């Protein structure tokens, strides 16, 4: 596995490959776990060359404390990437990624970036668009793999590829969960043991609510909000039922079926995100 710290090293590593070979790419922020590994395995299996990036992107954090506390362990990341057959890992510094004085190419995602994560985390998707756009320009992947844990992000990235006019195919990958149902996340490591033990109740509530798919969104929302409110350690930021394509909310009286339930719950200082298809 070649580790590239600069754009120049990455360009050289990519140039040494046969131009006919397909490139599969997985962008990450590190603190890698089995959720990331499920994307790595697909990228490895479906392409000649598997490229990953590890970069904690400061401009997609709207909360400085979240950025400061974000877990980082490059040696462990390198090991997991190697175990998963990664050919090239790009792990630049912030200065390398965003040299001072160099203008950033920014994108707008319209209604996709004004709801849910976009509404709660102002500027988040702008930052995601800048970094993924830059990474796509550098790597020029044939396929890029994104987790459906960040469902809204997948829609934003699909729009990014349309705007950039590149041929990269976006491959959405299912949410990888722990045996107890909790969606794997780098932030799970920041939970206290007590909160970690309670956190699977988020998915449990969503799973139970999927049995009510033919009921109205209002009933499903009441159920999920009630389940979260019953756990004093949890604070619901939002639960919305929205269309999988436009991400716009569904009227309360319409059935949940065919839509997606999106949830964010705080436990202490940790923000947990999950979703479920109805
Ligand atoms: P991150 O490092 O959090 O930016 O995540 C990098 C990629 O891994 C994103 O496309 C995430 O959606 C994806 N990912 C993170 N956790 C999971 C998970 N539990 N299951 C599937 N994909 C995931």
Distance, CA of 107 to CA of 128 (rounded, Å): 10
What does the pLDDT read at residue 133? Answer: 98
- Tokens for 63, please give them: 């909360």
Ligand 1 atom closest to Cα of 146?
10
Q: What is the pLDDT of residues 116-135, one digit of tens each?
A: 999 999 999 999 999 999 99
Q: What is the pLDDT of residues 96-121, one digit of tens each?
A: 999 999 999 999 999 999 999 999 99
pLDDT range class, residue 212, cuts 50, 70, 90: very high
**Residues 100 and 144 reside in one and the same domain:** yes
Ligand 1 geometric centre to CA of 176 (Å): 9
Distances (CA, A) of 224 to 62, 211, 212: 27, 12, 11
Q: Which of 24, 25, 35, 200 to mutate to test the pocket of ligand 1 (most atoms within 8 A of CB)?
A: 35
What does the pLDDT read at residue 240? Answer: 98
Lining residues, ligand 1, CB within 6 Å: 28-29, 35-36, 38-39, 146-147, 149-150, 173, 175-176, 183-186
Distance, CA of 140 to CA of 157 (rounded, Å): 14
179 lies in some domain: no
**Residues 65 and 163 reside in one and the same domain:** yes
- Tokens for 12, please give them: 């050289």
Residue-averaged pLDDT of the chain: 97
Give the end of a domain, one of 173, 202, 230: 173
Q: What is the pLDDT of residues 172-196, one digit of tens each?
A: 999 999 999 999 999 999 999 999 9
Residue showing tokens 């710290």: 5
Ligand 1 atom closest to Cα of 186?
3
**Residues 47 and 83 reside in one and the same domain:** yes
- Report the C-alpha dihedral over residues 236, 159, 130, 152, rounded to 10 degrees: 10
Distance, CA of 76 to CA of 83 (rounded, Å): 11
Distance, CA of 42 to CA of 20 (rounded, Å): 19
Distance, CA of 141 to CA of 169 (rounded, Å): 8
Whether 203 sits among the annotated catalytic residues: the reply is no
Residue 90: domain span: 2-173
Q: What is the pLDDT of residues 26-85, one digit of tens each?
A: 999 999 999 999 999 999 999 999 999 999 999 999 999 999 999 999 999 999 999 999
Ligand 1 atom closest to Cα of 177?
19
Alpha helices by DSSP H, 70-175: 74-83, 94-97, 117-120, 124-139, 151-164
Q: Give 79's contacts (C-beta < 8 A, 6+ positions apart).
A: none
What does the pLDDT read at residue 128? Answer: 98
**Residues 19 and 131 reside in one and the same domain:** yes
Q: What is the pLDDT of residues 3-26, one digit of tens each?
A: 999 999 999 999 999 989 999 999
What would the mean pLDDT of 252-262 be, rounded to a whole number?
98
Of 33, 36, 124, 203, the catalytic one is 36
Ligand 1 geometric centre to CA of 59 (Å): 18
**Residues 197 and 248 reside in one and the same domain:** yes
**Residues 156 and 68 reside in one and the same domain:** yes
Q: Are strands 143-147 and 169-173 parallel, antiparallel or unpaired?
A: parallel
CATH assignment of the domain containing 222: 3.30.1300.10
Q: What is the pLDDT of residues 142-154, one digit of tens each?
A: 999 999 999 999 9
CATH assignment of the domain containing 130: 3.40.50.620
CB-hemisphere CA count at 13 Å for 29?
19
pLDDT range class, residue 262, cuts 50, 70, 90: very high
CB-hemisphere CA count at 13 Å for 185?
20
| CA-wise closest residue to 151 among 257, 274, 22 | 274
Distance, CA of 126 to CA of 114 (rounded, Å): 11
Grouping H, G, I as helix, E, B as strand and the rest as coil, residue 198 is helix
Ligand 1 geometric centre to CA of 224 (Å): 24
């Amino acid at each position: 596995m070649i580790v590239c710290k600069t754009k120049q090293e990455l360009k050289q590593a990519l140039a040494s490959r046969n131009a006919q070979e397909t490139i599969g790419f997985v962008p990450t922020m590190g603190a890698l776990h089995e959720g990331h590994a499920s994307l790595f395995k697909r990228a490895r299996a479906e392409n000649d060359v598997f490229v990953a990036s590890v970069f904690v992107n400061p401009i997609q954090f709207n909360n400085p404390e979240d950025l400061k506390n974000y877990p980082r362990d490059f040696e462990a990341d390198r090991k997991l990437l190697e175990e998963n057959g990664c050919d090239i890992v790009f792990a630049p510094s912030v200065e390398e990624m965003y040299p001072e004085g160099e203008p950033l190419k920014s994108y707008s995602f319209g209604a996709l970036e004004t709801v849910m994560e976009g509404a709660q985390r102002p500027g988040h998707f702008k930052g995601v668009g800048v970094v993924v756009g830059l990474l796509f320009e550098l790597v020029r992947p044939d396929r890029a793999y994104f987790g459906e844990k960040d469902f809204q992000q997948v829609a934003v990235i699909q729009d990014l590829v349309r705007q950039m006019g590149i041929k990269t195919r976006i491959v959405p990958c299912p949410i990888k969960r722990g045996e107890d149902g909790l969606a794997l996340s780098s932030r799970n490591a920041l939970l206290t043991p007590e909160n970690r033990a309670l956190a699977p109740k988020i998915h449990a509530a969503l799973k139970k609510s999927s049995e009510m798919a033919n009921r109205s969104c209002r009933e499903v929302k009441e159920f999920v909000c009630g389940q979260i409110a019953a756990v004093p350690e949890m604070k619901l930021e939002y639960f919305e039922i929205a269309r999988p394509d436009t991400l716009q909310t569904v009227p309360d009286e319409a059935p949940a079926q065919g839509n997606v339930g999106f949830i964010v719950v705080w436990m202490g200082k940790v923000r947990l995100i999950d979703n479920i298809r109805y």
